[in-house]
Amino acid sequence: MKNYQVKAGSKLILSQCDPDDTGSYEKTGQGKEKAKAVTAQLIGRLEKLQERLYANGNRALLIVLQGMDTSGKDSTIKSVMSGVNPQGCKVMSFKTPSSEELGHDFLWRVHQKAPSKGQIGIFNRSHYEDVLITRVHGFITDKVVKQRFNQIKEFEELLSESGTVILKFFLHISKDEQKKRLEERINNLEKRWKFSDGDLEERKLWKNYMEAFETMMAATSTDQAPWYIVPANRKWYRNLVIAERVVNALENMKLKTPLAPAGINFDKLKIE
């Protein structure tokens, strides 16, 4: 498996990152089937590790998903987290800020949604929207963007030092792949509900968004909260990469099943 991790402070050029990459797996046929089999094993492992995380209640995992429209944020959650106990996993998305939220700093509403100990939290879009959409549309200046980069890093450092492991994934699709997926939404009656005129307007700003993503990931990828550029043209490989990273992060916590309550002789215990 390739790492795909963005090095802190690196000069990032997304056009040099292949969204159609499938690592050592063939793009079709046996490669796809092998990858799906490995992903299924990882999802099974994830189920056991999440139970330990929940039972211990002393660490948390935050997964951040960002990407252009149709990059697969929803389907990633549905596929990779399919075996996870809903009691120990919460998915959050951040819509247009309310009047109350606008009365605070931009991270105020985000901090409230961070996962508590024992939980996996998934941000389907996140605090990074405040340095992406706002920047691309000129709602904030470059000076404010840089300030927010530093504030985000300090916020994520606080979470990390408090016991939360952070994984940030950019789902990287090509412009041609997005066109294909948008057309599928238009032509498929079952998927039309996902379509919005705004998708087409944002697509016109593709180059601007790529530049904003490049700057953002280079500025905010750290050892405590790394960014991963996940090739996402092929959904099965996207799922494999993310499942492998999540399982690896949980295994590195070295969680063990908690001890049974003291003073109970389980060998002699009988249930009437």
Burial class (CB in 10 A: 0-12, 13-18, 19+), 64: buried
For the chain, what are the domain ranges?
14-20+58-74+84-233
CATH architecture designation of domain 14-20+58-74+84-233: 3-Layer(aba) Sandwich (3.40)
Alpha-carbon gap, residue 272 to 253, rounded angstroms: 39
Q: Which residues contact 204 (CB under 8 A, 6 or more apart)?
A: none
**Cα(272)–Cα(105) distance, rounded to whole angstroms?**
57
What pLDDT score does 191 carry?
86
Residues of the chain under the 50 pLDDT cut: none
| pLDDT value for 271 | 83
Would you call 18 helix, strand, or coil by DSSP?
Answer: coil
What's the pLDDT at 43?
97
Q: What is the pTM of this model?
A: 0.94
- Amino acid 193: pLDDT: 87
